[in-house]
Chain A
C-alpha cells in the first residue's frame, strides 16, 4: 500500500481536497502533535492531506548578526519561526509535516496554483520533506470544488512547476535584499542621530509607490487655482423649466461672460436643431483581481486588501474561483450551464439565470487580459453552506452579478440634444435614456446610469430664458490617491504583483507615510522620498523596478535564471548601500527633526482640553501601560480630564472632527481588520449616558 502526502496551503483547502478525494467514506481527521491531517483511503492507497499556514519558510540572513546590522548579502531560506518573531505555530506545522513525510512515498503539491502557492509547496517539500521536491507532483486547479479537485488529482502533473517556484524565490530574495538593506540604512541613520527608534522602511516596490503619493501631494501643495466662469441658464419649455448649457463650457475672462449675459437675459430663443444618437454599451468583461478590487471599493468602500481577503474566504468556501488572477477570460470548460444551474438555487438569481439559459448559447464578453494559470474570477455555482457575513454577501453578489452580466446582451442608450439659438448664441438641452437594458438589468445595482428625459420638443419651437447668471469657479488640483486608485497606478506602472500590491499599500499606512482614506503623504514620506531621490534615485525609479519585474517574469518562462537576477541585484545594490552607510550621519541629521516632529504630532491632539484649555496628549499610564488621552495641565492646573482610547492597533489622530461634538476623531488600524474611526469623547459620553429602561415583557400565562 502506497502512501501519498498532499500538501495544501491552508487548513480549509486541506479539508476540501481530502473530501474530494475520499469517495466512499468521509476523510479521517488525525492530529499529529496538535497539527491536523486528513487521512483518505483511495483504492489501495492511503492519502495524507496536510496544510501549511501560508509560507512556512522565509529568506533570512545566514549568520546571527544583530537585526540592525547592514549591509547583509549572505542569505538563505530558513523556517519562518527562525527568521521572524511570533511564528511558533509555523514551527509545529513544519515538525509535524516532516514527521509524517517519512511515511510517504509519493508527494503532491496542492497549494494554490500561482507563484506563491508553487513556492510554499516547493519549500515545504524541499526542506521539511527531505528533498521530496525532486520527485513531487503538482495538482493544478482554479476552484476548490469536488469535481475540479478530482480532475486535478487524476491529471496530476508529473513534476513540480519549478520555474514558477524559482521565480517566487527570486522575488522574495530580491525584495529581501532591497528591504533589509535600505530599511536598515534609514532606520539606523535616524537612530544614530536622534536616539529615537522609528521603523523606516522602503523596498523595491514600496519606494516607487510612495513616490507616486508624494508627487501627488507635492502637486496639491504647490497648486495655484485659476478662475473661470460658467453660465447657469434656465429655460422654460411649455411651462417646464430645464437647465441648459451654454456653447462655451467655461469663460476665462469675466467681462466676456458678463457681456454674454447682457445679450441673452430676458430674451426668447428658438429651437434650431434636434439631434438624437444611439450608442451601444457592451457588457462588462469578467473580473480580474484588480477590476474586482476597484469595483468593491467603488460600491462598498472595501480597501483592496480587504476585498482580496474576503474573496479568498469565498474561494476557500468553494463559492468563487481563485481570485488572484490577471485573466479576463472565461473558457467554456468551466461549465457555464452547470454554474447557472447552481446559481438558480439561490432565490436572488433564479429568474436571471433562467432568462440567460433560455436565451440560447452562452458567450461571455471576454477582455484582452489573460493569465496562464487561472481564468477570470467567477462563481462556482455553489450555494453558501454557512451564513455569510454582510461583507462576504456583498462581494459574492458582486462576483455573481458581474459573471451574469458578461453573458448579457448589448445595451443601447439614446442621447438627445436640442440646440437653442438666442441671437448668435447657442444653448444646449441634453437628455439621455436607456432604450434596451440588456446586460444592465443583469448587473443590477452595480450598473448606474442617470437618465434625463427631455420634454417633447419641435424644431422652430420658442423657449424663453427665465434665468441666466454667472457662477465663479476655480480649477481644481488632482485628487489624492485612495487605496484603490493607488493600486491601479501600480498596475499601470507594472510594479508589484497582484498578490503583493494591496499589502504594499497597507504598509504605507502602517509606517506612518500616509494617513486618511484619501491618502495624504506625511512629512516623513516627503523626507524619506527626498533622501532616496538625493542619495539613490534609482531605488525609487519606476523604470528600473519595472525592468527588474520583467527579468523575474522571464524566470517563469525559463528565459532567465534566478541566480543571475539575484547576483545582478547584489552587484547593483552593493555600492548604493555602502554609499548610504558612509552618509549615515548626514541622512540621520535630515531625518531627526522630522521623526521627533512626527512623534510629537502623533500624540498631540489639535483640540484643547475642554476643561482647562491645555494641550491634550495620548499618554501611557506608567503602571498599567494602558494608553489614554490625558491633559497636560494635570500638574499646573490640577486638571483631571482624561479619555480612554482603544488599546490595540496603530492609533492615529485624524484631522477630522466629530460631527456631533467637534472633538478630534481617532483611527485604529489592526492587521487584517477594517480601520476603526471613532470619537473618544462621544464614546465616553455614551458610556456615561443612562441606560434605557429595560422593557419588561410579560408572557401571557396559559392555563391548561
Chain B
C-alpha cells in the first residue's frame, strides 16, 4: 500500500510520519526552538513558540501547516 504524507500528496519517507518536504520543515522547527528558547531565557513554552511562529510573515507556509497539524495532535503543549 502506498503511504502518503498526512499533509500533502508526497510519499512518506521510510520510518517517518512525513514526506521529505515536511520532514525538512520539522527539522527546521525543532532546530530553531533552542534559539527561541535561549532568546527568552528558557521561558518560552512550545505553545508560545508555535503561536509566535504562526503570526510571523517570515515563517514558511509548510511550517505553518505543520504547526497546525502538530497542535491538532496535541503536540504543542
Q: Which residues of A contact B (CB under 8 A)?
A: 218, 220-228, 252-255, 474-477, 530, 593-594
Does B62 lie within 8 Å of A226, measured CB to CB?
no
Chain A residues within 8 Å of B25, by CB: 221-222, 224
**Given A222-B60, A224-B32, A474-B56, A253:B38 Cβ within 8 A:** yes
Chain A residues within 8 Å of B35, by CB: 226, 252
Q: How far is the CA of A218 from the CA of B32 in the complex (A)?
A: 17
- Give residues 1-60 of B contacting A (CB, 8 Å): 9-10, 21, 24-25, 28-29, 31-32, 35-36, 38-41, 52-53, 56, 58-60
Q: How far is the CB of A230 from chain B (nearest CB, A)?
A: 13
Does B32 lie within 8 Å of A222, measured CB to CB?
no
Q: How far is the CB of B42 from chain A (nearest CB, A)?
A: 10
In the complex, the chain A residue whose C-beta lies closest to that of B27 is A222
Q: How far is the CB of B13 from chain A (nearest CB, A)?
A: 12
Q: How far is the CA of A221 from the CA of B63 in the complex (A)?
A: 7
**Given A223-B63, A224-B60, A255-B41, A218:B24 Cβ within 8 A:** yes
Chain B residues within 8 Å of A220, by CB: 60
Does B41 lie within 8 Å of A253, measured CB to CB?
yes
Ranked nearest first, the 8 interchain pairs of A and B with the lowest CB-CB distance are A225-B58, A224-B32, A222-B25, A223-B60, A221-B62, A221-B60, A226-B35, A224-B28
Chain A residues within 8 Å of B71, by CB: none
Does any Cβ of A come within 8 Å of B69's Cβ? no
Q: How far is the CA of A228 from the CA of B38 in the complex (A)?
A: 11
* 8 further contact pairs, Cβ within 8 A, besides A227-B52, A476-B58: A221-B25, A221-B61, A224-B29, A225-B56, A252-B35, A255-B41, A477-B60, A530-B10
Chain B residues within 8 Å of A530, by CB: 10
Does A477 lie within 8 Å of B58, measured CB to CB?
yes
Q: Which of B21, B40, B59 contacts A224 (CB 8 A)?
A: B59
Chain B residues within 8 Å of A225, by CB: 32, 53, 56, 58-59
Chain B residues within 8 Å of A475, by CB: 58
Q: How far is the CB of A257 from chain B (nearest CB, A)?
A: 10
CB pairs A–B below 8 angstroms (24 shown): A220-B60, A221-B61, A222-B63, A223-B28, A223-B60, A224-B25, A224-B29, A224-B31, A224-B53, A224-B60, A225-B59, A226-B32, A227-B39, A252-B35, A252-B38, A252-B39, A254-B39, A254-B40, A255-B41, A474-B56, A474-B58, A476-B58, A477-B58, A594-B9
Does B9 lie within 8 Å of A593, measured CB to CB?
yes
Q: How far is the CB of B5 from chain A (nearest CB, A)?
A: 12
Chain B residues within 8 Å of A476, by CB: 58
In the complex, the chain B residue whose C-beta lies closest to that of A593 is B9
**Given A222-B21, A224-B32, A593-B9, A253:B39 Cβ within 8 A:** yes
* B interface majority secondary structure: helix
Q: Which of A221, A228, A252, A476 has the most CB of B within 10 A?
A: A221
Does A224 lie within 8 Å of B63, measured CB to CB?
yes
In the complex, the chain A residue whose C-beta lies closest to that of B32 is A224
Q: How far is the CA of A477 from the CA of B28 in the complex (A)?
A: 12
In the complex, the chain A residue whose C-beta lies closest to that of B64 is A221
In the complex, the chain A residue whose C-beta lies closest to that of B22 is A222
Chain A residues within 8 Å of B31, by CB: 224
In the complex, the chain B residue whose C-beta lies closest to that of A586 is B2
Chain A residues within 8 Å of B59, by CB: 223-225
Q: How far is the CB of A598 from chain B (nearest CB, A)?
A: 13
Chain B residues within 8 Å of A227, by CB: 36, 39, 52
Chain A residues within 8 Å of B41, by CB: 253-255
Q: How far is the CA of A220 from the CA of B62 in the complex (A)?
A: 9
Q: Which of A223, A228, A254, A594 has the most CB of B within 10 A?
A: A223
Chain A residues within 8 Å of B38, by CB: 252-253
Chain A residues within 8 Å of B28, by CB: 222-224
Chain A residues within 8 Å of B58, by CB: 223, 225, 474-477
Q: How far is the CA of A498 from the CA of B18 in the complex (A)?
A: 41
Q: How far is the CA of A357 from the CA of B43 in the complex (A)?
A: 69
Q: How far is the CA of A218 from the CA of B40 in the complex (A)?
A: 28
Q: How far is the CA of A227 from the CA of B61 in the complex (A)?
A: 18
Q: How far is the CA of A593 from the CA of B62 in the complex (A)?
A: 19
Chain B residues within 8 Å of A224, by CB: 25, 28-29, 31-32, 53, 59-60, 63
Q: How far is the CA of A228 from the CA of B41 in the complex (A)?
A: 13
Chain A residues within 8 Å of B29, by CB: 224
Chain A residues within 8 Å of B62, by CB: 221-222
In the complex, the chain A residue whose C-beta lies closest to that of B58 is A225
In the complex, the chain B residue whose C-beta lies closest to that of A253 is B39
Q: How far is the CB of A256 from chain B (nearest CB, A)?
A: 9
Chain B residues within 8 Å of A255, by CB: 41
Q: How far is the CA of A593 from the CA of B10 in the complex (A)?
A: 11
Q: Which of B28, B32, B39 has the most CB of A within 10 A?
A: B39
In the complex, the chain B residue whose C-beta lies closest to that of A597 is B9
Chain A residues within 8 Å of B36, by CB: 226-227
Q: How far is the CB of A344 from chain B (nearest CB, A)?
A: 52
Chain B residues within 8 Å of A594, by CB: 9
Chain A residues within 8 Å of B24, by CB: 218, 222
Q: How far is the CA of A530 from the CA of B10 in the complex (A)?
A: 9
Q: How far is the CA of A476 from the CA of B60 in the complex (A)?
A: 10
Q: How far is the CA of A317 from the CA of B63 in the complex (A)?
A: 53
Q: How far is the CB of B51 from chain A (nearest CB, A)?
A: 13
Chain B residues within 8 Å of A593, by CB: 9
Q: How far is the CB of A518 from chain B (nearest CB, A)?
A: 14
Q: How far is the CA of A165 from the CA of B70 in the complex (A)?
A: 60
In the complex, the chain B residue whose C-beta lies closest to that of A589 is B2
Q: How far is the CA of A252 from the CA of B34 in the complex (A)?
A: 12
Q: How far is the CA of A253 from the CA of B40 in the complex (A)?
A: 6
Q: How far is the CA of A530 from the CA of B25 in the complex (A)?
A: 17
Does B39 lie within 8 Å of A226, measured CB to CB?
yes
In the complex, the chain A residue whose C-beta lies closest to that of B33 is A224
Q: How far is the CB of B27 from chain A (nearest CB, A)?
A: 8
Q: How far is the CA of A556 from the CA of B59 in the complex (A)?
A: 48
Q: How far is the CA of A297 from the CA of B52 in the complex (A)?
A: 36
In the complex, the chain B residue whose C-beta lies closest to that of A223 is B60
Q: How far is the CA of A223 from the CA of B25 in the complex (A)?
A: 7
Q: Which of A224, A225, A252, A476 has the most CB of B within 10 A?
A: A224
Q: How far is the CB of A298 from chain B (nearest CB, A)?
A: 25
Q: How far is the CA of A222 from the CA of B63 in the complex (A)?
A: 6
Q: How far is the CA of A221 from the CA of B66 in the complex (A)?
A: 11
Chain A residues within 8 Å of B56, by CB: 225, 474
Chain B residues within 8 Å of A226, by CB: 32, 35-36, 39
Chain B residues within 8 Å of A222, by CB: 21, 24-25, 28, 60, 62-63
In the complex, the chain B residue whose C-beta lies closest to that of A590 is B9
Chain B residues within 8 Å of A223, by CB: 28, 58-60, 63
Chain A residues within 8 Å of B21, by CB: 218, 221-222
